[in-house]
Amino acid sequence: MEKPTEWTSGTSRAIMAGLRERVRPVAIRRRDRVEEHVGRYWISWRSRNRNRVFAEIRALQGRVQVFILPGPRDLRDSAGLARRAPRTQGWGWFRSRIEVSSLEGVEPAAKLIVQSYEQVLARENGGRDPRIARRTQGL
């Protein structure tokens, strides 16, 4: 029987590095830059061009938590990672929470973070907020 991999601070760093290497090229292709602000308990990722945070990341014991803007129902989430974020998270801006507990979860988590980044771009370019669009469809 294989011994389970033990969680270390190196695991958190590896997950963060994996997320960075998948998200930053998306911004570069759009002539943007992901600015990283490191706080005591969290890291935020902000679009430099749009001056808007699109992800907040926390390294916790045994997992990395990522909070993103779109709600779980607004995401293309084939891995089923996204859960509803608490309303208190990020002053209510972040609507989804993702938990990454292994390197295998990096790729699907990065795809969700990219969707959050793209939502920031769409809103700034006249895109509609999916929450508002859904409310007005029935009228």
Per-residue confidence (pLDDT) for residue 72, from 0 to 100: 95
Residues near 42 by beta carbon (within 8 Å), at least 6 away in sequence: 56, 57, 58
- Residue range 83-117, pLDDT digits in tens: 999 887 767 789 999 999 999 999 999 999 999 99
What ranges do the domains of the chain cover? Answer: 9-137
Counting beta carbons within 10 angstroms of the beta carbon of residue 132, is it exposed (0 to 12), middle (13 to 18) or buried (19 or more)? exposed
Q: Tell whether pTM > 0.85.
A: no
What amino acid occupies position 34?
A: V
* Four-residue CA torsion sign, 83, 88, 90, 94: positive
Sign of CA dihedral 7, 114, 80, 55: positive
Residue 8's pLDDT is what?
A: 62
Token digits of residue 30: 């759009």
